[in-house]
């Protein structure tokens, strides 16, 4: 009989999931359908949970047996961390796995907006040749405000700085070693040509860019969201884009994913829409798999796990006889 029952939520072939553990001590459990009801049905009878890499399958509570959660992503907003902490269940993520991928997407998306790359491509496909009429601006010399100064925010600041931008940042705490200048949020919004969102989603950041804060933006500023859709009031953003208060937006994340067919963002002017792919590079995927596998094997071997995000003891202890 297997020592551990592991519920694996990533939509991968069963053989691929089994290969992650490298031991016959594991009984692998996978959902027959990707629904909240199915996850709730399976949770009471498993010891370890390998989460989904997107927040589509949310985890409100650990059930009576779960003693460790490995999230195969950096974000953990699909997990109720307070509830898992209260139950004594450590939750770990893959810290830093997609830092470069997301930061590079933020830069490339900004360049696409500034140089109107998407419009140029569409015009050529229509048989037009708007060599000079599309205009466009250089990134060099722009003022860039980065909201969030974790690993991704730092890398964004470094990359934008390398393009010759004046980079400032705001986060919930100041960092003396940050590669950018700290500004209060309203000041950052009012002075930046480009605002880049790479801040974690939580109670303090949900709806951070409200209608009132979008009105604080420098008129015509660009907004690049590589964080989470819920950080921005999407309806207010549509209005700000229509009025020209926001000159353009590059969005990799949305409040509802996939983006509904009825979303007004689909018809908003000067918007680059991306299917939550900023962190989806080959290199990032390899890092996520490697970090998840290593941590799961630590947990099963009774060794301390790493990258615990809810402040608990990294030694995994069973919650059932």
Catalytic residues: 228, 257, 276
- Is residue 288 within 8 Å of 97, Cβ to Cβ? yes
What is the bridge-based pairing of β-strands 4-8 and 246-251?
A: unpaired
Type and span of the H or E element at 129: none
Q: In what order do the strands lie in the sheet with 68-70?
A: 26-29, 4-8, 48-50, 68-70, 91-92
- b/e map 210-227, b = 16+ CB within 10 Å: eeebbebbbeebbbbbbb
Instruction: Give dist(CA 149, CA 99) in Å, integer.
Output: 12
In residues, how long is the chain? 321
Instruction: Give dist(CA 316, CA 47) in Å, integer.
Output: 10
- CA-atom Rg of the chain in angstroms: 22
Instruction: Give dist(CA 17, CA 296) in Å, integer.
Output: 12
Question: Of 130, 141, 4, 109, which Cα lies nearest the Cα of 66?
Answer: 4
Tally of CB atoms within 10 A around 233: 20
φ/ψ of 246, rounded to 5, equals -105, 120
Instruction: Give dist(CA 247, CA 86) in Å, integer.
Output: 45
Question: Of 37, 34, 41, 40, which Cα lies nearest the Cα of 55?
Answer: 34
């Amino acid at each position: 009989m297997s020592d551990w029952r592991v519920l694996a939520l990533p939509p991968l072939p069963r053989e691929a999931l089994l290969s992650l553990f490298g031991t016959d001590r594991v009984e692998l459990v996978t959902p027959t359908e990707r629904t909240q009801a199915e996850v709730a049905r399976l949770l009471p009878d498993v010891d370890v949970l390998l989460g989904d890499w997107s927040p589509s399958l949310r985890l409100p509570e650990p059930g009576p047996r779960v003693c460790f959660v490995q999230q195969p992503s950096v974000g953990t907003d699909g997990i109720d961390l307070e509830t898992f902490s209260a139950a004594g269940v450590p939750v770990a993520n893959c810290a830093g796995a997609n830092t470069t991928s997301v930061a590079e997407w933020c830069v490339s998306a900004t360049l696409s907006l500034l140089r109107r790359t998407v419009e140029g491509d569409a015009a050529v496909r229509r048989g037009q040749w708007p060599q000079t009429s599309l205009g466009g601006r250089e990134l060099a010399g722009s003022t860039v405000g980065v909201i969030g100064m974790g690993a991704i925010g730092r890398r964004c600041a470094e990359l934008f700085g390398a393009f010759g931008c004046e980079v400032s940042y705001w986060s919930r705490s100041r960092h003396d070693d940050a590669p950018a200048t700290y500004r209060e949020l309203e000041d950052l919004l009012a002075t930046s040509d480009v605002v880049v969102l790479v801040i974690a989603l939580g109670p303090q950041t949900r709806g951070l860019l409200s209608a009132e804060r979008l009105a604080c933006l420098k008129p015509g500023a660009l907004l690049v969201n590589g964080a989470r859709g819920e950080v921005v009031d999407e309806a207010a953003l549509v209005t700000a884009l229509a009025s020209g208060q926001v000159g353009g937006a590059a969005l990799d994340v949305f409040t509802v994913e996939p983006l509904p067919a009825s979303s007004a963002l689909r018809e908003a002017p000067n918007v680059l829409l991306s299917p939550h792919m900023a962190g989806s590079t080959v290199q990032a995927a390899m890092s996520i798999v490697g970090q998840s596998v290593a941590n799961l094997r630590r947990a099963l071997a009774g060794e301390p796990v790493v990258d615990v995000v809810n402040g608990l003891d990294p030694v995994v202890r069973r919650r059932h006889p």
